[in-house]
Amino acid sequence: MRYPHPAGGPLEAAMESFAVTVIRFDRFTLDLARGRLRAGDRDIELRPKSFDVLRYLVENADRLVSKDEIVNAIWPKVQVGDDSLTRCMSDVRLALGDAEHRIIKTVLRRGYMFVAPVSQTEASPGPSLPDKPSIAVLPFANRGGDPQQDYFTDGISEDLTTSLSKFAGLFVIARHSAFRYRGTDRDVRSIGCELGVRYLLFGSVRHDARRIRITAQLVDAGTTEQLWTEHYDRELTGIFALQDEVTRKIIDTLIAHISRSEIERALAKPPEAFSAYDYWLRGNAIMKRWQSDPTGEQIFAARTLFRQAMAADSAYAPPVYGLARTYNTAWIEPWSHEALALEYQQPATLEQGLLLAQRAVELDPHLPDARLTLAGILRWLNRPAESHAEFERAFELNPNLADPRFALALIHWGRTEEAMDHLKRIIRFDPFHAPDCLTFLGNAYYLTGQYTDAIGNLRIAARRVPSFRPTFVWLAATAAQLGYDGEAQEAAAVVLRRDPAFTIQKWLQLHQFVKQADADRVAEGLRIARFPE
C-alpha cells in the first residue's frame, strides 16, 4: 500500500530499498532511509526534489541519463520546465562542492553521468518503535483543487495531531515531521520506518461554502494492513464534532483501555462560530513560517486574522494565544514592518503579550499551546519560577509536545545539559525538526565549549532559514571561536543588516544568562567576531 497522492513512475522500483540503503561516494553518504546527504558527521541540507535528483543519478551511476528521463522520474505526470531540473542540479553541485564536475559530468545536449565510485551498505531502518502505540498524522490531501484552501486541510491534520498528542498512552510524531510527506508517493512501510511509528493516519478533505467531505484511513505501517477507513459528509458547521469522532475512533482502535472521561478531557472545546476557526487556521498557517520573513509582514497579517477570529468568538482560546505570540515575536526581533518596528524591545509590547496569554489560559486551562506561550513570555520577563511551572503544566497536558522553547529557557537558566536532552527528545518526536531546534542545540553546544558540534548544527539552520537573526549571532560567535574569521564576519554582517543597532551588551541583556560563565563565553565569541560592544 502506498500513501495515496499522485505520483508513480520509474522510481517506484527503488522504493523497497529506500528504508535500508546507504550509498557512499567520494566523502559523502546518501542515507536513503532518512532522505539525508551527509559529509562525515555533518548533515547537508537539500530540498526534497534536489535530493531526489541526486539519488536518481547515484542509483544510475556510470550511465548517461538524459534530462527527459530525470524529469519523468522525479516529476511524474507533472509538466515542469527545464529550469526546475537546472535549479536542482545547481543545488546538488553546490552541496557536493562539484563546481569542476568531477562527481557529476555534464554531457552537452544529452544529459548527466554520475562518475564517482559508489558503494552500498545496509543502514538501520530508522528509530526503534516506542514501547507504546505510535502514530503519525500525515497531511491530508486537498481535493478541492484550490491551493488557497491548503491551510484548511492542513488545519484538519494538525488538529487531529494535537488531539491525539494529549494522550499519555500514545506516541505521536510532531506535525513538522509528518508534513514532510505532503504530496509523496512513499510506501507506508518506508514512512513508518523513517518516523519510527507503527500507525499512519491519512486521508483527504473537500469542502465548499456549506459542506465538508473527509476520508480518513488508519494503516498499520509494519504490515500495511488497513485497520479502518471512514467517509464523512457533513455540514461545515459540524467540523468540530467530526474531528472529535475521528479522534475517538483512532483511540478506540489503538488503545481500548483509555477511559471515556480521559477522551472527553483531551478533546478541545470548539469555537461557537465556524468563522473563528477558519480565521484561526489562516493565522496559524502564517505563523508557522514567521522566522522566514525578515520584514514582519506575515506576523502582522497573522495578527489581523487572530483579531478577526476573536471578534467572531471571544471565548475561543487558540487565536488569543496566537495573538500573544505576535506580540512576543514583535518584541524579541527587529522588523522592518512600520507597526512592528515600533514594538521592538518595548516593555508595553511584552506586557500586552502577557495579558493575552493569561487570557488564553483562563479561557482554556487545558490547552497546552496556551501554556507554552505564557511560559515563553514569562521567561522573557525574567520570571523563571512562573515560567518553569507553566512549561511543566504544558507537558503534563500533552506529553508528546515537540516545542523547543523550553530548551531555550533551560539554556538561559544555565541548565544546558537538560536542554540538550530536551532537544534530542524533540528530534525523536519530530525527526524532520524545525531549524530553531538546530539553532538552540548549537547554542547549547557552544556554551559547553563543543564548538565543532555547534557550528555543524548552526550552519544547517542558517541554510534552512537564512533570515533568522539568532542563528547568525551564534554562528558568528562559534566561527570566531574556531578561527573561521571569514565565516564569522559573513554571519555578523547578516546580523548587522537586520539590526544595525546590535551590540554585545544588548544581546546579553536580552538573554539574561543566569550563569556568568555562560555570559562571558558568549561575549568572548562576539568580541572575536568584532561585534560592537
Q: Does domain 415-533 have CATH number 1.25.40.10?
A: yes
Helix, strand, coil percentages for the chain (3-state, nearest 5): 55, 15, 30
CB count within 10 Å of CB 40 equals 8
Give the residue extent of every domain in the chain.
Answer: 21-122, 134-267, 270-401, 415-533
- Residue 253: pLDDT band (50, 70, 90) is low
Q: What angle do CA 24, 29, 33 make, to 5 degrees?
A: 105
332 vs 4, higher pLDDT: 332
Fold identical between 270-401 and 415-533?
Answer: yes
**How confident is the model at residue 411, as a pLDDT?**
95
The CA distance from 208 to 230, in Å, is 20
User: Smallest Cα–Cα separation from 266: which of 241, 242, 247, 239?
Assistant: 247
> What does pTM read for this prediction?
0.62
CATH of domain 134-267: 3.40.50.10610
Four-way CATH pick for 270-401: 1.25.40.10, 3.10.20.340, 3.40.50.300, 3.30.930.10: 1.25.40.10
Task: Tell me the C-alpha to C-alpha distance, in Å, between residue 507 and each of 444, 512, 516.
Answer: 16, 9, 14
- Residue 266: pLDDT band (50, 70, 90) is low
Mean pLDDT of the chain: 84
- Asked if pLDDT for residue 135 goes beyond 70, the answer is yes
- Whether 296 and 273 have beta carbons less than 8 Å apart is answered as no
Q: How many residues comprise the chain?
A: 533
CATH of domain 21-122: 1.10.10.10
- Whether 191 and 202 have beta carbons less than 8 Å apart is answered as no
**How confident is the model at residue 381, as a pLDDT?**
95
The CA distance from 418 to 388, in Å, is 13
The CA distance from 317 to 310, in Å, is 8
36 vs 349, higher pLDDT: 349
**How confident is the model at residue 52, as a pLDDT?**
86
Q: What is the mean pLDDT of residues 37-59?
A: 84
The predicted-structure confidence for 501-531, as pLDDT tens digits, reads as follows 999 999 999 999 999 999 999 999 999 999 9
